[in-house]
Copies of this chain bind each other. A is one copy, B any other.
Amino acid sequence: MTDSKKPLILITNDDGVHALGINRLIEAIAPLGEVVVVAPDGPRSGMSSAITSMNPIRVSLLKDEKDLKIYACTGTPVDCVKIGIDRLLGRKPDLLVSGINHGSNAAVAVIYSGTVGAALEGCIIGVPSLAVSLTNYSHHADFSEAAKFGKSVAEKVLKEGLPKGICLNLNVPDIPKVKGLKVGSQTAGRWTKEFEEMKDPSGKSVYWLTGEFFNEEPGNENNDEWALANGYAALVPLHIDMTAYHFIEKIRNWEE
């Protein structure tokens, strides 16, 4: 199925296989190995780690070249990773790269992002995984700096690996010349004023998700929002074990 001499790299995203961001990522990553793309057939933004359990999914082979296969999948980003590794790749890939997302996935966006959800899924399966996002939602954004930093981090992951249970979240600011890379933490924050009410043509209320990000730690110079605001690409290691270990002993007396 696959050429075992080169690293096998799975690429996915949440904006869909036709988005500019994933195509810029494919160009950047292609020199590093054999690339198989399994990406949603259309936009799946905000899908988090959603899985499709009540309907079947379908897969179409869009491109079949030496060292580059591209599949479109009707499922979520996590479905793409699962079916890619379980059915399409022939073996576990050496690296998963998800993105380049159109828009920031810094701070609490890791919880909602399908791009990050795909990287977390790779991590669960035991594949060194990286999510890459650019802080620009435009369809025609300039992905050159994000692709450069994404490739650079991907090379380091291929060389050094990642520990079990940890993946990486890279966000790149939308500026012509990024100053460098900072490693830090997920910024604490939340969204406020989240809905805009409108009337549909029959006069009934509908609600559109919108809102403003509220940074709960603006003075922290070690987190991803600080790095992005100051011209740096922000790299945050994430773990899939969400246990708040320090709190276990605090509620031990709740045991019955």
Contacts and interface: CB of A to CB of B under 8 A. Distances in A.
A182 B255 CA distance: 5
Q: How many copies does the complex hold?
A: 2
Contacts of A186: 241-243
B194 A82 contact: yes
Contact of A243 (B51, B53, B191, B238): B238
Contacts of A112: 49-51, 78
Given A82-B209, A86-B194, A205-B58, A248 B183 contact: yes
A66 interface: no
A85 B56 CA distance: 34
B181 A254 contact: yes
A129 interface: no
Contact of A87 (B43, B82, B207, B245): B207
A180 B238 contact: no
A251 interface: yes
B82 A195 contact: yes
A48 B46 contact: no
A120 B111 contact: yes
Interface string A232-251: 00011111111111011001
Given A78-B112, A111-B242, A237-B248, 4 more contacts: A48-B78, A183-B255, A238-B242, A242-B242
List the 5 closest pairs (A to B, CB-CB), nearest first. Answer: A56-B206, A48-B48, A48-B49, A239-B244, A180-B256
